[in-house]
Amino acid sequence: MSVIQHSTPEQQQRKVQHFEDEPLNKFFNSVVLPLEYDNEMAKVKSLVHRVINSTTSKKVIFITSGGTIVPFEKNMVRFLDNFSGGGRGASTAEYFLEQGYHVLFLSRKNSLQPFVKNLMLHETNFFSFLDNNSMHCNHNTASTPKEQVHISDKYYDQVSSLFNKWKKYIDSGHLERIYFQTVGEYLYYLRGISMELSILKKNAIIYAAAAVSDFYIPLDHMAKHKIQSNNQSLTVTLDPVPKLIKYVVSTWAPHAFTVTFKLETDENILGSKCLMSLNNYKHQLVIGNLLSSYKDCVVFHTPNKAPQTICRKEPIHGTDKYVPAHTIENDIGEHLIILHDQFIKADN
């Protein structure tokens, strides 16, 4: 699991090409490289190695999840953030793991994680699932009844089922995780990981579900210290973040099946925004969703086809809200796997 595969000469060449693209070069110089970049990319290389050598399935999905932050100061006190708990990405990871895919999960630090997500409805405090009432247990040394902290009876089945799945996929190397915080860190990883996955050609899905900021403050425009208030208004000007997804499709991973999301709050503009995205980036799928209903219905936009609305087949919760639910990500996953299989089998 710890074998590190080095970039191919072809990939190195692509990196060089990238650095000759002036606007991109300028953007990456205006944000901070992730601290652990090289270590994290070594994990990606190991995953690619495992996929190539897998005797079961060669398919992999690279899921990005959670919101990106935009620092206002170099010594960061304030930052702009994007609404996203990371639920869509986490649920999608669960579904694809269960279908045999390897999953590379790039998520915002502290956002929802696969499986453990289903326990986070309850105040996000894991003490809610523990108890210390009397039980018989010779787990440590004593075999007489004693006060022992353990998973409470009420949640035991739920916690153990989720934990066993989590552990299985971590131990087997099917689930690999990397974290980001800022929009700059996110885009460094989007570029690096796409390039590493490109060797897998059509077997890779790039599923860009993270809520990426459209705006940022370049390092050379950023205040060094906390901006002072002085009881006056504050006016902040943010630059547009370049749309790097077009480089994913054209250059970094041109053979992958690329999926992007479009979240809007205004129903009237959602369809046209999705079509515009598909036309601009020439990728395989845009999934449109509204903030008010993103857990219930989404719309699939694919080239040369009518949009397809997909809604959740079953209610979210059973009688107990901790029973793992049928989420809309199951339905999204089911449709996406069909599209991915058609894509792999197609000639071009």
For a second copy, which is the closer residue by CB, 3 or 149? 149
Q: Which letter does DSSP use for residue 223 in this model?
A: B
Least distance in angstroms from the C-beta of 35 to a second copy: 16
Cα Rg, the chain, nearest whole Å: 22
Of the candidates 330, 341, 251, 255, the one whose C-alpha atom is nearest the C-alpha of residue 298 is 330
Least distance in angstroms from the C-beta of 171 to a second copy: 10
Least distance in angstroms from the C-beta of 185 to a second copy: 16
Least distance in angstroms from the C-beta of 57 to a second copy: 24
For a second copy, which is the closer residue by CB, 56 or 232? 232
Place of tokens 């425009």: 221
For a second copy, which is the closer residue by CB, 3 or 236? 236
Partners of residue 60 on adjacent β-strands: 102, 204
Least distance in angstroms from the C-beta of 129 to a second copy: 8
What residues have CB less than 8 Å from 35, skipping those under 6 apart? Answer: none
What's the CA gap between 54 and 50, in Å, rounded?
6
For a second copy, which is the closer residue by CB, 77 or 316? 77
The alpha carbon of 110 is separated from its chain's Cα centroid by a whole number of angstroms, namely 12
Q: Which two tokens mark 160?
A: 């153990």
Partners of residue 176 on adjacent β-strands: 104
Residues in contact with a second copy by the rule CB under 8 A? 69, 72-73, 75-83, 109-110, 113, 115-116, 119, 124-127, 129-130, 132, 135-140, 143, 148-151, 153, 156, 159-160, 162-164, 166-167, 211, 213-215, 224-226, 229, 231-240, 243, 263-266, 291-292
For a second copy, which is the closer residue by CB, 92 or 203? 92
Residue type, 121: L
For a second copy, which is the closer residue by CB, 240 or 315? 240
Residue 65, φ and ψ in degrees, nearest 5 = -150, 140
Least distance in angstroms from the C-beta of 137 to a second copy: 5
Cβ burial of 128 (10 Å; 0-12, 13-18, 19+) is: middle
